[in-house]
Chain A
Amino acid sequence: MSTPSATTPARWRALTHHHLFWPVAVLVALLLVNVPFTPDFFAIRMADGHLYGSLVSIVLFGSPLILVAVGMTLVIATGGIDLSVGAVVAITGALTCSYISDQADQNALAGVFLAMGIGLVAAVVCGLWNGFLVARMGIQPIIATLIIMVAGRGVAQLITDGQIITINSEPYKLIGGGYWLTLPFSIFVVAAVVAVTVALTRRTALGLLVESVGGNAEASRLVGIRSMRIKIMVYMFCALCAGIAGLMISSNTSAADGNNAGLWIELDAILAVVIGGTSLLGGRFSIGGTVIGALVIQTLTTTIYTIGVPTQTNLVFKAAVVIVVCLLQSPKFRAKVFGAKGRARVTAPAEPATPADAAPKMEVSR
Chain B
Amino acid sequence: MSATTKTRTAAEGRTPSTPAQASTAARLLGDRRLPVLVTAGLFLAMYIGGLSRYQNYGFGEPQVFLNLFIDNGYLLVAAVGATFVILSGGIDLSVGSLIGFTTMFTAWLVERQGLPLLLVIPLALGVGAFGGFLMGYVIHNFEIQPFIVTLAGLFLFRGLCLVISKESISISDSTVSSMAQTRVPLGLGELSIGAVVALVVLAAAFYILHYTRFGRRVYAIGGNEQSALLMGLPLGGTKIAVYTVSGFCSALAGLLFMLYIQSGDPLHAVGMELDAIAAVVIGGTLLTGGSGYVLGTLFGVLVLGLIKSIIQFEGTLSSWWTKIATGVLLCAFILIQRAMTARKQT
Q: How far is the CB of B152 from chain A (nearest CB, A)?
A: 4
Within 8 A of A (CB), among B331-346: 331, 334-335, 338, 342, 345
* B159 contacts A by Cβ under 8 Å: yes
| B141–A267 CB distance below 8 A | no
User: What CA separation (Å) do A148 and B327 show in the bound complex?
Assistant: 7
Contact A326-B143, Cβ < 8 Å, known A312-B159, A315-B159, A319-B155: no
User: What CA separation (Å) do A358 and B162 show in the bound complex?
Assistant: 36
Chain B residues, Cβ within 8 Å of A138: 338, 342
Chain B residues, Cβ within 8 Å of A323: 138, 149, 152
User: What CA separation (Å) do A208 and B341 show in the bound complex?
Assistant: 31
Chain B residues, Cβ within 8 Å of A142: 91, 147, 287
Chain A residues, Cβ within 8 Å of B145: 280
| B323–A153 CB distance below 8 A | yes
> Residue on B with the closest CB to A153?
B323
* A213 contacts B by Cβ under 8 Å: no
Within 8 A of B (CB), among A87-122: none
> Residue on A with the closest CB to B327?
A151
**Max chain A C-beta neighbours (<10 A), residue from B160, B288, B319, B324:** B324
Binds B, one of A17-25, A31-39, A154-162, A246-254: A154-162
* B316 contacts A by Cβ under 8 Å: no
Partner of B151, one of A137, A270, A312: A270
Contact A152-B327, Cβ < 8 Å, known A316-B156, A316-B159: yes
Contact A332-B142, Cβ < 8 Å, known A143-B334, A154-B324: yes
| A319–B153 CB distance below 8 A | yes
Binds A, one of B60-68, B72-80, B257-265, B273-281: B273-281
User: What CA separation (Å) do A326 and B155 show in the bound complex?
Assistant: 14
> Residue on A with the closest CB to B148?
A326
* A199 contacts B by Cβ under 8 Å: no
B-facing mask of A143-177, CB < 8 A → 1, else 0?
11011111111110110001000000000000000
User: What CA separation (Å) do A310 and B155 show in the bound complex?
Assistant: 16
* A286 contacts B by Cβ under 8 Å: no
Contact A330-B144, Cβ < 8 Å, known A137-B335, A147-B327, A323-B152: yes
Partner of A146, one of B149, B155, B274: B274
User: What CA separation (Å) do A214 and B287 show in the bound complex?
Assistant: 21
User: What CA separation (Å) do A130 and B323 show in the bound complex?
Assistant: 18
User: What CA separation (Å) do A221 and B183 show in the bound complex?
Assistant: 61
B-facing mask of A269-287, CB < 8 A → 1, else 0?
0110010000010000000
* B158 contacts A by Cβ under 8 Å: yes
User: What CA separation (Å) do A258 and B324 show in the bound complex?
Assistant: 13
Interface residues on B, range: 35 or more
> Residue on B with the closest CB to A271?
B151
Contact A313-B334, Cβ < 8 Å, known A81-B147, A153-B323: no
Chain B residues, Cβ within 8 Å of A137: 335, 338
> Residue on B with the closest CB to A355?
B143
User: What CA separation (Å) do A17 and B281 show in the bound complex?
Assistant: 43
| A150–B334 CB distance below 8 A | no
- Name the prevailing secondary structure of the A interface residues: helix
Chain B residues, Cβ within 8 Å of A155: 324
Chain B residues, Cβ within 8 Å of A157: 318, 320, 323
User: What CA separation (Å) do A149 and B334 show in the bound complex?
Assistant: 14
| B320–A154 CB distance below 8 A | yes
> Residue on A with the closest CB to B225?
A362
* A40 contacts B by Cβ under 8 Å: no
Q: How many of A's residues come within 8 Å of B, CB to CB?
A: 52
User: What CA separation (Å) do A10 and B304 show in the bound complex?
Assistant: 61
| A280–B148 CB distance below 8 A | yes
Chain A residues, Cβ within 8 Å of B158: 315
> Residue on B with the closest CB to A148?
B327
Q: How far is the CB of B156 from chain A (nearest CB, A)?
A: 4
| B320–A162 CB distance below 8 A | yes
> Residue on B with the closest CB to A318?
B155
User: What CA separation (Å) do A81 and B146 show in the bound complex?
Assistant: 14
Which residue numbers of B lie inside 8 Å of A, CB to CB?
Answer: 91, 138, 141-145, 147-149, 151-156, 158-160, 162-163, 166, 266, 274, 277-278, 281, 287-288, 318-324, 326-328, 330-331, 334-335, 338, 342, 345
Question: Could you give 27 example pairs across A and B, Cβ below 8 Å?
Answer: A139-B334, A139-B338, A140-B288, A142-B287, A144-B334, A150-B327, A152-B327, A154-B322, A267-B155, A274-B148, A312-B163, A315-B155, A315-B158, A315-B162, A316-B156, A316-B160, A319-B152, A319-B154, A319-B155, A323-B138, A323-B149, A323-B152, A326-B148, A329-B144, A331-B143, A336-B141, A336-B142
- 5 more A-B residue pairs beyond the given contacts A312-B266, A319-B154, A327-B142, with a C-beta to C-beta distance below 8 A: A146-B274, A147-B330, A151-B326, A317-B159, A329-B144
- CB-based closest 10 A-B pairs: A151-B327, A315-B159, A154-B323, A312-B162, A316-B159, A319-B156, A319-B155, A157-B320, A154-B324, A322-B152
